[in-house]
Structure 1
Amino acid sequence: MSHASLPRSLIALCAVLALCAHGAEPSKSGTARKPTSVKFHKAPSEESPAAREKRLQRECKGRANAGMCLGYTH
């Protein structure tokens, strides 16, 4: 690395740090944002817990008791 590129990289690093610090400052507008609640809508293709239980018992017969089949092997 040459001596001329060292100050340029140092200036670039300082600029990035200054931008990051500026973005981390809290809002001073006086109004606090309320957290929004997230609502999850079930997809029509989503399986019920009972259907999942039956599927895992059926698919995991004779398999190793690990991973997805943990607790569902016979």
Structure 2
Amino acid sequence: MRFAFKLTQLLTSTALVLGLMGLARPSGAVESFTATTGAKPAGKGQKPKPAKAPKPPTDKGSAESQAERDKRLQRECRGRPNAGACEGHAS
């Protein structure tokens, strides 16, 4: 009985040590690796420029400008109560 317990303990500790050795990173393997992509290296004093995305066209459609809206509200709200859309334009 005592022999089986010691054997189990020995096998467990051996498996634990081997498992931890498998998880350990090899020293220097990752730090010394550099990938090359074939891109031209930047010249001295030159910084790579980020690519600019084109601006999407702004479609104003049939919407009126702020000035056009103010003129329309002053024209339409004359003599009406100063409330709702006419607030500030009913004078």
Q: Taking structure 2 as the reference length, what is the TM-score of the superposition?
A: 0.35
User: Structure 1 or 2: larger helix share?
Assistant: 1
Q: Which has the higher contact order (CA 8 A, sep 6+)?
A: 1
